[in-house]
Amino acid sequence: MSSNKIRASITGVHGYVPNYILSNSELEKLVDTSDEWIVTRTGIKERRILKGDMKGTSIIGTKCVEGLLEKTGTSANDIDLIICATVTPDMFFPSTANLIANNVGANNSYGFDLSAACSGFLYALATGSQFIESGAHKKVIVIGADKMSSIIDYTERKNCVLFGDGGGAVLLEPSKDNTGIQDYILKSDGSGGDMLCLKAGGSLRPASIKTIENKEHYIYQEGSSVFKFAVTNMANVSEEIMLKNNLTSNDISYLVPHQANKRIIDATANRMGVGPEKVLLNIEKYGNTTAGTIPLCFWDFEKKFKKGDNLVLAAFGGGFTWGSLYLKWSYNTK
Ligand code: ACO
């Protein structure tokens, strides 16, 4: 089917994870945990860590964009806009998107960061698509990247097993062949904000000796409560986007889920009626890279995708924020 509507197509993807592998067995030496507990409760076997001083999320984003420009044969000067979804910006300001633009020489672009925790990439993809569909821009880069190790307490077992560092980037360009982003549903509910947050360092609780002593610069999560919200809402919104677009499970080529916990992903896939062969998983290698998980899945599984494939993306994260996005893949990988 063709239509005259300009859609935003993903025309290239690239990802980056740091070399250092933090395995479950290494975590067993740091905190009271076990490989067996981590694998059965979450599905994670190892995660990547960006080691070294003065290395922020912009390093991850820069590597992603450099690779993306090279792969797609795009000149940095032709980029109109860079959106970086992250909850671990290098600094509050300037934005990490600005830093990345400078690093890659995207001198004709503007950029901004977007904060929606684990749903950040979905929010940013939907946002970036508006600038393409409206005709305002021809080349938009959307990045999802986080250095979660910068806000993790490696003496406390609850969170340190879950998160890792990494990210990915996509190039959005106009398409008139009806491939690209078809629809999205984004939601948020601030009443869940206290259950998953970074308590200090913002204007509410500026950094002080007290906030450091209270360990309030590390991620805070009420895991089992968040789990219940995540299971219900990620499954609900994925079913909702299928119904809204008259998609049956047979129509769906792949579910591309946020990788927080394999049990949450399984529940979403079950509700959608899609079998494991259609569910993209890399949680065992990278853990939860927050805004990075979905573009890292694109990067890992790009060769599987064929032009016209129907992909449903789904995420849930801090805020609470959640959503799903339906897109038709736009190219075949050689
Ligand atoms: N190793 C061993 N035992 C552990 C560990 C660990 N790493 N962590 C917790 N436990 C223990 C707990 O202390 C508890 O013991 P107790 O019963 O003696 O008190 C027991 O395991 C069960 O703890 P729960 O928290 O109930 O475990 P649960 O099965 O819920 O799994 C988890 C915890 C993995 C965090 C899960 O709740 C989860 O995945 N939550 C959702 C995460 C998520 O989706 N977050 C949103 C995205 S993140 C973002 O937006 C930045």
- Mean predicted confidence (pLDDT) in 297-301: 98
In a domain, 256, yes or no: yes
Between CA 119 and CA 58 the distance in angstroms is 19
The CATH number given to whatever domain includes residue 208 is 3.40.47.10
Residue with tokens 């062949």: 177
Determine which residue's CA is closest to atom 10 belonging to ligand 1: 158
In a domain, 118, yes or no: yes
Confidence (pLDDT) at 176: 84
Amino acid at 228: K
Q: Are 1 and 152 in contact (CB under 8 A)?
A: no
Is residue 27 within 6 Å of ligand 1 at its C-beta?
no
Between CA 86 and CA 291 the distance in angstroms is 6
Is residue 115 within 6 Å of ligand 1 at its C-beta?
no
Residue range of the domain that includes 271: 182-328
> How far does residue 259's CA lie from ligand 1's centre (Å)?
15
Question: Does one domain contain both 173 and 29?
Answer: yes
Question: Does one domain contain both 153 and 261?
Answer: no
Is residue 315 within 6 Å of ligand 1 at its C-beta?
no
Q: Residue 10 is encoded by which pair of tokens? A: 């993903």
In this prediction, residue 95 has a pLDDT band, given cuts at 50, 70 and 90, of very high
Question: Does one domain contain both 23 and 118?
Answer: yes
217 is known as an active-site residue = no
Is residue 119 within 6 Å of ligand 1 at its C-beta?
no
Question: Does one domain contain both 165 and 225?
Answer: no
Confidence (pLDDT) at 255: 98
In this prediction, residue 4 has a pLDDT band, given cuts at 50, 70 and 90, of confident
Confidence (pLDDT) at 2: 53
Check pLDDT > 70 for residue 1: no
- Mean predicted confidence (pLDDT) in 98-108: 98
In a domain, 334, yes or no: no
Confidence (pLDDT) at 28: 98
Is residue 263 within 6 Å of ligand 1 at its C-beta?
no
Task: Identify which of 213, 184, 226, 206 has the alpha carbon closest to the alpha carbon of residue 42.
Answer: 226
197 is known as an active-site residue = no
- Mean predicted confidence (pLDDT) in 255-281: 98
Is residue 118 within 6 Å of ligand 1 at its C-beta?
yes
In a domain, 3, yes or no: no
Name the catalytic one among 84, 258, 261, 297: 258
Question: Does one domain contain both 127 and 61?
Answer: yes
Question: Does one domain contain both 25 and 165?
Answer: yes
In a domain, 1, yes or no: no
Is residue 158 within 6 Å of ligand 1 at its C-beta?
yes
Check pLDDT > 90 for residue 75: yes
- Mean predicted confidence (pLDDT) in 184-195: 97
Q: Are 295 and 167 in contact (CB under 8 A)?
A: yes
Question: Does one domain contain both 17 and 111?
Answer: yes
In a domain, 2, yes or no: no
Spell out the alpha helix ranges (H) of the chain: 24-30, 35-42, 57-72, 96-104, 120-133, 157-160, 209-213, 223-244, 262-272, 283-286, 293-301
Which of 136, 152, 178 lies at the terminal end of a domain, its last residue? 178
Q: How many domains does the chain have?
A: 2
Q: Are 290 and 88 in contact (CB under 8 A)?
A: yes
Q: Are 130 and 153 in contact (CB under 8 A)?
A: no
Is residue 261 within 6 Å of ligand 1 at its C-beta?
yes
Best residue for ligand 1 mutational test, from 40, 149, 196, 226 (most atoms within 8 Å of Cβ): 226
In this prediction, residue 334 has a pLDDT band, given cuts at 50, 70 and 90, of confident
Task: Identify which of 223, 255, 258 has the alpha carbon closest to the alpha carbon of residue 239.
Answer: 255
> How far does residue 318's CA lie from ligand 1's centre (Å)?
15
> How far does residue 226's CA lie from ligand 1's centre (Å)?
9
Residues 6 or more apart whose Cβ sits within 8 Å of residue 246: none
Average pLDDT of the residues of the chain: 97
In this prediction, residue 90 has a pLDDT band, given cuts at 50, 70 and 90, of very high
In this prediction, residue 316 has a pLDDT band, given cuts at 50, 70 and 90, of very high
Task: Identify which of 256, 27, 258 has the alpha carbon closest to the alpha carbon of residue 158.
Answer: 27
288 is known as an active-site residue = yes
- Mean predicted confidence (pLDDT) in 284-313: 98
Report DSSP letters for 120-183, one per residue. Answer: HHHHHHHHHHHHHHTTS-S-EEEEEEEEGGGG--TT-HHHHTTB-EEEEEEEEEEESSS-EEEE
Q: What residues pair up with 158 in beta bridges, in sequence order?
A: none
In a domain, 221, yes or no: yes
Check pLDDT > 70 for residue 61: yes
Which of 127, 144, 178 lies at the terminal end of a domain, its last residue? 178
- Mean predicted confidence (pLDDT) in 70-79: 98
Task: Identify which of 76, 3, 328 has the alpha carbon closest to the alpha carbon of residue 180.
Answer: 328
In this prediction, residue 3 has a pLDDT band, given cuts at 50, 70 and 90, of low
Question: Does one domain contain both 165 and 217?
Answer: no
- In whole angstroms, what separates CA 10 from the centre of its chain? 15
> How far does residue 257's CA lie from ligand 1's centre (Å)?
19
In a domain, 216, yes or no: yes
Question: Does one domain contain both 162 and 248?
Answer: no
Report DSSP letters for 1-21, one per residue. Answer: ---S--EEEEEEEEEE--SEE
Question: Does one domain contain both 186 and 169?
Answer: no
Which of 151, 178, 205 lies at the terminal end of a domain, its last residue? 178
Question: Does one domain contain both 89 and 113?
Answer: yes
- Mean predicted confidence (pLDDT) in 149-165: 98
> What's the pLDDT tens digit per position in 158-189?
999 999 999 999 999 999 899 999 999 999 99
- Mean predicted confidence (pLDDT) in 90-114: 98
Name the catalytic one among 24, 98, 282, 288: 288
Question: Does one domain contain both 69 and 147?
Answer: yes
